[in-house]
Amino acid sequence: MTTTLRIPLDDNLKHEATPILAEYGLSFEEAMQLFFKEIVETRTVPLNGVKKELAPEPSEEKNEEPKPDITVYATLDDFYRAVGVKPRKL
């Protein structure tokens, strides 16, 4: 199931962001999916200068290993696969 979002976006911001996203092979829709997945996975808002962390979700298992703070991917394609975005050919 998917939800369609309609948000007002400054034309200049869209114009400036388009080539940057294209360098990563991302559409606006894919970039928004990555943004929201990062919020859910890290329980933070992934923006420079915003450091407010939310309390971790309660764990059902008492002996659960803590998740690492950073995941490093060998390639951009590995990252896309990990977050469920289909890589685009440029």
pLDDT band, very low/low/confident/very high, at 70 (cuts 50, 70, 90): confident
The boundaries of the domain holding residue 16 are 11-48+68-83
Residue 44 in this model has a pLDDT that exceeds 90:
no
How far apart are alpha carbons 21 and 70 in whole angstroms?
22
CA angle (81 as vertex; 44, 13 as ends), nearest 5 = 55
Reported confidence tier of residue 55, pLDDT bands at 50, 70, 90: low
Q: 19 versus 53: which is more confidently predicted?
A: 19
- 23 occurs within a structural domain: yes
- Give the global pTM: 0.53
CA distance linking residue 20 with residue 15, whole number of Å: 10
Q: Give the separation between CA 87 and CA 90, rounded to whole angstroms.
A: 9
**Confidence check: pLDDT of 14 > 60:** yes
The CA distance from 79 to 69, in Å, is 15
Q: What is the pLDDT of residue 26?
A: 92
Domain count, the chain: 1
Q: Is residue 6 part of a domain?
A: no
